[in-house]
């Protein structure tokens, strides 16, 4: 605490001292926290394919499976909608479904989710209407839902800026005596932003009930992780803030669910924040505007396809006799029904009221906005008459 100040005072030799250069002993220094318990696993935690999976609840495994199948289908459908011009853009999470689903399922209803623009799937898995989740990407309104309804903050386009919001909300909830946890999602690129640092620092200092969940999918658009950070892992960054870092295989839905559930429980009982890094891979390009062949080799993608989150879970369920052909078909059919409904609803043109652009700038419109609204109304009326 005061050690820096005291130490600096010791380097000044007393005036007139002629003795040989002799330091007074420096005041004892101790690290503020033992860093060892904060350090992440030496390699990403895996549960599927290990003995640890025996402890997993079969009902949870089946739930995760159904949601992964639905999520994969959602990604495919939304990608198709961009090709049809129904969506302006869609940042796919194909290959990352385990992270998205496990994140949503680790939360209680009263908890809050703070998603980035890529995390539509987590929002849908949390119960948000699939069409409402796409409002931003469709260009309809910026947020297509009331955040309070499912406790999902608006999908956030600027990187990492939603992380301090999660800290503030969790802190406020604790001040009010509510045992609410905030889960804040961010990509590997987002960890380079200043807001990532400030959010983690605030959360640790305030011991706020927040879980920071980094989906490290290998690339920030085209920039690989090696050009993003020199840290041993993104989970290692936690130590510098005084919070535990956890490293998990992001394609292992059970492992992700386990780690996040533990982190959420820890936050809820007053243990403070955790930084979780899930190592995963973005199978699709960043968005439909991106050409991923310019910055990564096909072989790399194929290697990750062999480590597909659905494949890993399906193998486990099949081996344990929890899933057969009928089960697979039922999950696929449920996903297909969701996709058909999404397609149908997205094919209807949204009806927008242009006058609404003035409605939500302030609680009460200023004189200036009322004048501008009158101008637009007149223009619309003239258009109608023409």
Partner 1 sequence: MTTATTGTAAAKAGGNAGKPKPATMAQALQRAMRDAMAEDPTVHVMGEDVGTLGGVFRVTDGLAKEFGEDRCTDTPLAEAGILGAAVGMAMYGLRPVVEMQFDAFAYPAFEQLLSHVAKMRNRTRGAMPMPIVIRVPYGGGIGGVEHHSDSSEAYYMATPGLHVVTPATVEDAYGLLRAAIASDDPVVFLEPKRLYWSKSDWSPEAPAAVEPIGKAVVRRKGTGATLITYGPSVPVCLEAAEAAQAEGWDLEVVDLRSLVPFDDETVCASVRRTGRAVVVHESTGFGGPGAEIAARVTERCFHHLEAPVLRVAGFDIPYPPPMLERHHLPGVDRVLDAVARLQWEAGS
Query: Interface with partner 1 by CB under 8 A: which residues?
Result: 141-143, 146-148, 153-154, 158, 161, 163-173, 175-176, 182, 194-195, 198-199, 201-202, 205, 356, 359-363, 366-368
Per the listing, tokens 């956890």 go with 246
Per the listing, tokens 């960043």 go with 286
Question: Minimum CB separation from partner 1 for residue 356, in Å?
Answer: 8
Q: 45 or 122, CB closer to partner 1?
A: 122
Helix (H, G, I), strand (E, B) or coil at 316: helix
Question: With the C-alpha atoms ordered 46, 52, 53, 56, is the resulting torsion angle positive or negative?
Answer: negative
Work out the widest C-alpha separation in the chain, in whole angstroms.
97
221: which 2 tokens?
A: 């658009």
Q: 75 or 161, CB closer to partner 1?
A: 161
Q: 147 or 224, CB closer to partner 1?
A: 147
377 is catalytic: no
Rounded to a whole number of angstroms, the CA Rg of the chain reads 25
Question: Minimum CB separation from partner 1 for residue 132, in Å?
Answer: 12
Q: 88 or 334, CB closer to partner 1?
A: 88
Question: Minimum CB separation from partner 1 for residue 146, in Å?
Answer: 4
Per the listing, tokens 């380097």 go with 11
Per the listing, tokens 């005084």 go with 242
- Whether 237 and 275 have beta carbons less than 8 Å apart is answered as yes
Q: 30 or 367, CB closer to partner 1?
A: 367
- Whether 204 and 32 have beta carbons less than 8 Å apart is answered as no
Question: Minimum CB separation from partner 1 for residue 347, in Å?
Answer: 23
- 362 burial level (CB within 10 Å; 0-12, 13-18, 19+): exposed
128: which 2 tokens?
A: 């948000």
> Which residue in the list 70, 73, 150, 282 is annotated as catalytic?
282
> Which residue in the list 86, 257, 266, 286 is annotated as catalytic?
286
74 is catalytic: no
C-alpha 223/C-alpha 212 separation (Å) is 22
Question: Minimum CB separation from partner 1 for residue 60, in Å?
Answer: 30
145 is catalytic: no
Residue 152 pairs in a beta bridge with 113
Q: 14 or 177, CB closer to partner 1?
A: 177
| Segments of 148-288 assigned E as strands | 182-187, 210-216, 219-220, 223-224, 245-249, 274-279
Question: Minimum CB separation from partner 1 for residue 153, in Å?
Answer: 7
Q: 129 or 262, CB closer to partner 1?
A: 129
Helical spans, DSSP H, in 234-319: 237-241, 253-268, 298-305, 309-319
> Which residue in the list 63, 295, 307, 328 is annotated as catalytic?
295
C-alpha 239/C-alpha 83 separation (Å) is 43
Contacts by residues 81-84 (CB-CB < 8 Å, ≥ 24 positions apart):
81/134, 81/342, 81/343, 81/346, 82/287, 82/288, 83/288
Q: 32 or 148, CB closer to partner 1?
A: 148
Question: Minimum CB separation from partner 1 for residue 202, in Å?
Answer: 5
- Whether 69 and 329 have beta carbons less than 8 Å apart is answered as no
Question: Minimum CB separation from partner 1 for residue 335, in Å?
Answer: 30
- Whether 216 and 245 have beta carbons less than 8 Å apart is answered as no
Active site residues: 282, 286, 295
């Amino acid at each position: 605490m005061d050690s820096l100040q005291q130490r600096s005072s010791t380097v000044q030799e007393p005036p007139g001292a002629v003795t040989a250069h002799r330091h007074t002993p420096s005041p004892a220094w101790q690290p503020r926290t033992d860093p060892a318990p904060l350090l992440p696993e030496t390699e990403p935690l895996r549960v599927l394919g290990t003995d640890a999976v025996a402890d997993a609840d079969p009902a949870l495994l089946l739930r995760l499976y159904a949601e992964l199948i639905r999520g994969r289908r959602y990604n495919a459908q939304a990608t198709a909608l961009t090709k049809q011009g129904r969506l302006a853009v869609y940042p796919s999470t194909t290959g990352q479904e385990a992270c998205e689903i496990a994140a949503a399922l680790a939360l209680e209803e009263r908890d809050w989710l703070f998603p980035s623009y890529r995390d539509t799937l987590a929002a849908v898995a949390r119960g948000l209407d699939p069409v409402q989740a796409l409002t931003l990407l469709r260009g309809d309104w910026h947020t297509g839902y009331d955040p309070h309804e499912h406790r999902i903050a608006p999908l956030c386009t600027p990187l990492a800026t939603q992380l301090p919001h999660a800290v503030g909300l969790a802190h406020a909830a604790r001040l009010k005596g509510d045992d609410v946890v905030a889960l804040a999602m961010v990509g590997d690129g987002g960890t380079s932003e200043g807001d990532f640092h400030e959010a983690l620092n605030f959360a640790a200092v305030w011991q706020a009930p927040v879980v920071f969940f980094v989906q490290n999918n290998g690339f920030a658009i085209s920039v690989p992780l090696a050009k993003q950070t020199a840290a041993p892992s993104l989970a290692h960054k936690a130590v510098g803030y005084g919070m535990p870092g956890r490293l998990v295989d992001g394609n292992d839905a059970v492992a992700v669910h386990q780690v996040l559930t533990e982190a959420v429980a820890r936050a809820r009982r007053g243990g403070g924040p955790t930084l979780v890094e899930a190592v995963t891979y973005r199978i699709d390009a960043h968005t439909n505007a991106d050409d991923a062949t310019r910055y990564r080799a096909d072989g790399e993608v194929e290697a990750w396809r062999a480590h597909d989150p659905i494949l890993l879970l399906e193998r486990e369920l099949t081996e344990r006799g929890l899933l057969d052909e009928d089960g697979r078909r039922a999950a696929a059919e449920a996903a297909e029904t969701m996709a058909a409904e999404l397609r149908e609803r997205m094919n209807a043109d949204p009806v927008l009221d242009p006058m609404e652009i003035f409605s939500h700038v302030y609680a009460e419109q200023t004189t200036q906005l009322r004048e501008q609204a009158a101008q637009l109304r007149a223009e619309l009326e003239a258009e109608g008459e023409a």
